[in-house]
Amino acid sequence: MQKDSLFELKKIANELRQDVIRSLKNAGSGHSGGSLGMADIFAVLYFAILNHDPKKPNLKNRDRLILSNGHICPILYASLARAGYFPLAKLKTLRKLNSDLQGHPHNLSLAGVETSSGPLGQGISQAVGMALAAKLDHLKHHIFCVTSDGEHNEGQVWEAIMTANKYHLGNLINIIDYNGIQIDGYTKDIMPLGNLKTKYESFGWKVLETNGHDLKQIIKTLDKAKTYQKSPVAIIAHTILGKGVSFMENKYPWHGKAPNQEQASRALEELQNHDQ
């Protein structure tokens, strides 16, 4: 990718982070840490990788993005808005009564949202079903699923992983937000995951790893993942919770916390300085 394109993606990722802070401050509740941590990956997905068209959101051959860890929907909503699915001003309505931008995505409320979420662990099962349906219909699009490291505590996740291997779902790419943090603390303390790469490989998946904040590396990894035809791919994305806001980075209380007015102002000042 050209240097100017990378610069533009970096700018978009920064704008997405600012959108997240503003919308969460207005809402007074929601999940800051994971939303900020996944901004670089969402910028790459929506502005460099996904085959999608906001003017034709139900295009049959579009790529699907399934957000399993739906609590980080502020970054999904910001990405959809920046991509043109709805006006940016709508981000101000996050978590408001009667808003389409609910605390978890609802696919009947908003164009570009492929599934509804809530309980963790279900998104990868939904993604497996979509990938199998596309394979049976001889369609060529990809199903991208975003999961958290913490939701790998769920048994349902591993059932889906086994199923994806059984049906050789080469059209399925699972991007794991591996920030080492969940709502109650650090994953190594709550429920150690062990060697996640080895586990996925033992279940028949191809496994790639990437720095979740290196745009060039993210693009290279996703492009490589799309070349596999006969097996599903897991991308372990090493991310920093709260990335871009110094007082949030790697602090687990920010997993499920929104900034107040003063904190939002500090966060936005930091992010705006990154652009200079």
Domains of the chain, first to last: 3-274 (3.40.50.970)
Please report the pLDDT score of residue 3 as a whole number: 57
* pTM listed for this prediction: 0.96
**Six token digits for residue 236:** 């372990």
Instruction: Tell me the mean pLDDT per 10 residues along the chain, length 276.
Output: 80 98 97 98 98 96 97 98 97 95 93 92 96 97 97 96 98 98 92 96 98 97 96 98 97 95 97 81
